[in-house]
Amino acid sequence: MDWDDDVDARDMLCPLPVLKARKRLAALAPGAVLRIVTTDPVAVIDLPHFCSEAGHEVLSSDADGTATAWLIRKALA
């Protein structure tokens, strides 16, 4: 799947991955897809919770070693 923007949040600890995602999503058009790569184990809780609260959709989360690549679709409204 393609994405519209990319954030490298490797080696950042909570809450920085969520804050980076929120800031970048705010700049994107509704329906755009953000890819964010994290290594913080807490991101598996924080990112889905943030998306649920903000109305964004987690399209996928693919772990590769210590990193997880997330695809998040920005809320339409």
pTM: predicted TM-score of the whole model, two decimal places: 0.96
pLDDT digits (tens, 9 = 90+) for 24-72: 999 999 999 999 999 999 999 999 999 999 999 999 999 999 999 999 9
d(CA 53, CA 5): 21
pLDDT at 1: 86
Element (H, E) at 60: strand 57-64
pLDDT at 77: 78
**One-letter amino acid for residue 24 of the chain:** R
Rounded to whole angstroms, the maximal C-alpha distance in the chain is 35
> Which residues are known catalytic residues?
14
